[in-house]
Structure 1
Amino acid sequence: MSAGKAGTAANSAAAGWTALFAAWVVALAASLSALYIGEVMGQVPCSLCWHQRAFMFPLTILLAVACYHSDEAAWRYAAPVAAIGWLIAGWHTLLFYGVVSEAIQPCSASGPSCSGEGMTLLGWVPLPALSLLAFTAILLLLLAVARGGRKA
């Protein structure tokens, strides 16, 4: 292999690891934020928030291990987890904005409401949209990892 091709491969590997690390940072920030909102601020999560957490929290661990081992193939097992979380967050965002009918809303009257004031941060930033944004960022970064691992 020539020196130019070796340098290009090293740059590609570094870019892939950087994208993987960035995906881990997003997952970690989202997980810590969810814990802060629930445990410190005392905001009780609704059913859909719990489901999103069930997919975000493991991503934090998966991506940390993948970064530690420089496993650029991690996108193969992390992307499906992030995609399912993205679907739940998308559904939750549609519920929050009233696009989905109240009749098929999974949140009960006894628990926190998906469209209540408690679903916003600082009174105007909807938590479901933040979750959707985090899962989207993770998926885009994992796509960059996947593309970085392909040979040109």
Structure 2
Amino acid sequence: MGKTKNKMKILVMAGGVSEEREVSLDSARAVTDSLIRMGYDVSVIDSATGKSLLDSNGKYLLEKDHDAGSKIALKQADTPALTKSLRSIDYKGIDLVFIALHGGQGEDGTVQAILHLAGIKYTGSGMLASAVAMNKAFAKQLVRHE
């Protein structure tokens, strides 16, 4: 008898508090649908709230449903608040975090640093590459070898 292959468990991280929140939620929905079709065990978390974006049947919730009718306040980078939100997520059994965040802390290396320090595998660039890429002047200097 063959060995049973375990499904990879992927946590899609979406939402956030940047001005690109809606784009992130749309991206996460597309990523989630694709990963489920490919047979992965998928969960989706809003990094702004630490709450699941899937209902009990595994269906993606509409914005009005997962925000309980209130909009997430867009705010300046608040690393302690983000850290608290990310620490509230149960990563037990998660094999990989798929970062579907756009803008702000999802692209500037903050989320990557928090996941890296916690020993959690994630997709995309590492924390240093993300931070350098967000600093356009410094990134241009590196490319030009100045």
Give TM-score scaled by structure 2 length: 0.29
Q: Which has the larger radius of gyration?
A: 1
Higher strand share: 2
Higher relative contact order (CA 8 A, sep 6+): 1
